[in-house]
Amino acid sequence: MRSLLTCFALVAVVLAVPAKDCAHKLKESVAPPRQWIKEGPASKDLPIELKIALPQPNFSELERHLNEISDPFHERYGQHLSKEEVEALVAPHAESISSVNEWLATHGLMGDDLSRSPAQDWVKVTVPVGLAEKMLNTEYHVWRNAKDGNTIVRTTSYSLPENLHGHIDLVQPTTLFSTLRGMDTNFRFSKESKQLDNADAPPINIPSASGGQVDASCNRTITITCIQQLYNAVGFTPSGKNGNKIGITGYLEQFANIADLQSFYADQRPDALNSTFEFISVNGGLNNQTLSEAGAEANLDVQFAFGLSHPIPGTFYSTAGRPPFIPSVSTPTNTNEPYTDWLDFVLSHRNPPQTISTSYADDEQTVPPSFARRACNQFAQLGARGVSLMFSSGDGGVGDGDDDPATQQCFTNDGRNKTQFAPLFPPACPFVTSVGGTIHVPETAVFFSGGGFSNLFARPAYQQHAVTTFLKKLPKGTYAGLFNPAGRAIPDVAAQADLFRIFLSGRIVSIGGTSAASPTFAGIVALLNDARISKGLPSLGFLNPLLYTISAAFPKGFNDITVGNNPGCGTPGFNATQGWDPVTGLGTPNFGVLKDILTGPFAHFARED
């Protein structure tokens, strides 16, 4: 520490040694993903918002708390932490704060130039690219995406003063080339709604369904009624006034149209007519209500999540920022991945929705490990505060859904160009619930259901038994070298993911993708939270330890899916099988059984206020 302070003192007080003379040491270096082509140096005047992450020395203690309050057999189950308690557990040491402040000051950055997270573990500062290059001893370039032509400003490596390495975990945007995207939705435009009816066909016998039957029409189109029947939720009416809430995240200028929502309600949920959702803008995010600009992803998520959970209040977050972007002096300075901007925002608020669904992700191997781990830790903070986070598992099976070998992420990004399965992030984060997809009645795995094993995150303890059991049944040598058998396994659960009937720009559309499965499962979770909160019990919070425990102890809580597979990367992918599998996880939910469990056997440890 003494040499660092000496260097800073020379710069700040004596002003005899410029900041660049403080010895820099390489902090991070990456190979650009396959589809990114270097175009030329970035303009020195281009403003860029640097996010500097300070270490969280007590994160392991936060993780311990999270594990205890999420374990249904632990005496602390359901005793979620407050915003202040979580912030105290992720706060950096004072020495790190002062060291980073001194470093920034040597570059003329202090006071109002800086903004900080409530826990002081993030510092944001907007600087010209030229200054960022001096601070990080690097060079920024413009990179073009060969697939879509978009461009982005990044570097493949950066350095920090050597004695700052222990006080800064990462700085972005630097090496982050990932491209946040929605799941690959499939469209089939319907001519007339009457053609979707199948009134003459007898109902399908499904013992786990409400009344043991599901309308035959659900094999042609999925509606709110189909989900309620199939997942045994018919007849449950949530309070809507007990403090329970559900949220949907929106990115990439995807707008949730209120007129379409009203048409959807008139079609499938007439008791919800004239109700709407709360819109929250993050960093200037918009929700344009021009009918022609309605977003398929946003409409799907909002219509089914809020339609299933009505009258539970719904929130739609629209986060600005669409990386990659066209770089110029007038370009907006938000060049970070927008879901981390959303995380910063929601963590700063006291009462976020207890259930939140997201249908956007990156290829895991395009996300620098330091960034992925830090973002994952932020998801853990929300879980500790009683928030359940659902993410679509992906729409490329065990691949990334790209059929072009030149841009396919089934090839490793380490120079070897080795074929490898392509899990997504954030679904691979062990602190979120990853949702795969099914189709038809009786349910089978839908072919595009994303699944597999993380190459970055180790398998967490809560899924050790279920995943090990699957791996033991897998024929020896199957896909050897194509996946990491010790990695965090996805998905955790599944739900219907195709033939969803929504309204888009005033028209009836049939749409599919795990982007349908995640809001559907989130709607069921919101109903479960409502049942608990109405009985004075806490929200479910981080779900995964509970889900795997229920699957083992109360197998009827999930509908096990044993037919289907998820091809990708030139392979048939994995097979759905008895128990957990990397196509449909533990299976699809049985709301009625889960409600009885969660207001009964796993309710008695709840803390009383």
Active site residues: 297, 301, 515
Determine the Cα–Cα distance for residues 143 and 335; give it in Å rounded to an integer: 13
Identify the CA nearest to 154 among candidates 238, 252, 39, 20.
39
For residues 388 and 377, give the distance between their C-alpha atoms in angstroms, rounded to a whole number. 14
* 3 state DSSP class of 514: helix
Starting at the edge strand that comes first in sequence, how are the strands of the sheet with 500-504 ordered? 186-189, 507-512, 500-504
Residue 579 annotated as lining a ligand binding site? yes
Q: Is 437 helix (H, G, I), strand (E, B) or coil?
A: strand
561 carries a ligand binding annotation: yes
**48 a known binding residue?**
no
Helix (H) or strand (E) holding 158: strand 157-161
433 vs 536: CA distance, rounded Å: 24
Q: How far is 90 from 316, CA to CA, in rounded Å?
A: 27
Tokens of 592: 């009625």
- Close Cβ partners of 189 (under 8 Å, ≥ 6 residues apart): 507, 508, 509, 510
Encoded tokens for 149: 């032509």
The alpha carbon of 437 is separated from its chain's Cα centroid by a whole number of angstroms, namely 16
Q: Give the three-state DSSP class for 392.
A: strand
DSSP structure string for 557-586:
GEE---S-B--BTTB--PBP-SS-BTTTBT
- The residues that bridge with 201 in the sheet, in sequence order, are none
3-state SS string for 322-388: CCCCCCCCCCCCCCCCHHHHHHHHHHCCCCCCCEEEECEEEEHHHCCHHHHHHHHHHHHHHHHCCCE
Distance CA 411, CA 31 (A): 13
248 labelled binding-site residue: no
Distance (Å, whole) CA 428 – CA 127: 33
Axis crossing angle, helix 296-309 with helix 514-533, rounded to the nearest 10: 30
Neighbours of 234 (CB within 10 A): 15
- Dihedral pair phi/psi, residue 28, rounded to 5°: -155, 145
- CA dist 236 and 578 (Å) reads 29
Cβ count within 10 A of residue 254: 25
Q: Binding site for Ca(2+): which residues?
A: 560-561, 579, 581
Q: Binding site: which residues?
A: 560-561, 579, 581
